[in-house]
Amino acid sequence: MQLVITALGQNRPDLIVELTRTIKDAKCTILESRMTGLGLEFAGHLLVEGNWNHIVRLENALKSLADRYNLKIQTLRARERELEEEDNSLPYAVDIFATDQINNVHDLSAFLADRNIEILDLSTSRYPAPFTGSPLFLAHMVVKIPVGMRIVSLRDEFLDFCDQLNLDAILEPVKR
């Protein structure tokens, strides 16, 4: 059985230790996680696995952890993937560098969604440019490109799209 956990709260040095200890003490295993500081706050997304009684124990322990550390913790029992045919997609990395514009993330995700390309992971940041202090935008994505899609055509469309928005971009296979 799998459980998705989202935790939000004030960032503190021992928060990841306490969260992972709670999972370990419930005899569950972390399958995937993304935990980060966002400004002065903490955000964590985890997918954990355990048998049903360990998941129930973890759900109860997370309520106690939330009260102790003043966290907002949401859980969702994950649907199990059915054994299906092989995943017919190719993982690609997309890196974007540009001046900060309000629509960057929306425009990029719409471009990909219009082509039935799934975004597996997206991280963005904004920081001031050296010397000028102008806000700059940086994005990194991992996407799944359907096997039947012509990569050369997609890359040309993507680079044209980025040129129209004045974005510097790279689309390349994920290196494993």
* Mean predicted confidence (pLDDT) in 122-149: 88
Final residue in a domain of this structure, among 77, 108, 143: 77
**What is the domain count for the chain?**
2
User: For residues 97 and 125, what is the distance between their CA atoms, to the nearest angstrom?
Assistant: 10
Specify the CATH number for the domain of residue 28: 3.30.70.260
The first and second tokens of residue 162, run together, are: 């980025």
The 10s digit of each residue's pLDDT in 74-116 is: 999 988 766 555 577 889 999 999 887 778 889 999 999 999 9
Residues written for the chain: 176
User: For residues 81 and 59, what is the distance between their CA atoms, to the nearest angstrom?
Assistant: 21
Residue 8, pLDDT score: 96
Task: Indicate whether 12 and 53 sit together in one domain.
Answer: yes
Residue 86, pLDDT score: 59
* Type of residue numbered 46: L
Query: What proportions of the chain, in percent to the nearest 5, are helix, strand and coil?
Result: 30, 45, 25
Task: Indicate whether 73 and 98 sit together in one domain.
Answer: no
Residue 89, pLDDT score: 85
Give the residue ranges of DSSP H helices in the chain: 15-25, 52-69, 104-114, 151-165
User: For residues 48 and 78, what is the distance between their CA atoms, to the nearest angstrom?
Assistant: 9
The per-residue pLDDT of the chain, averaged, comes to 90
Domain that holds residue 141: 89-173
* Type of residue numbered 83: L
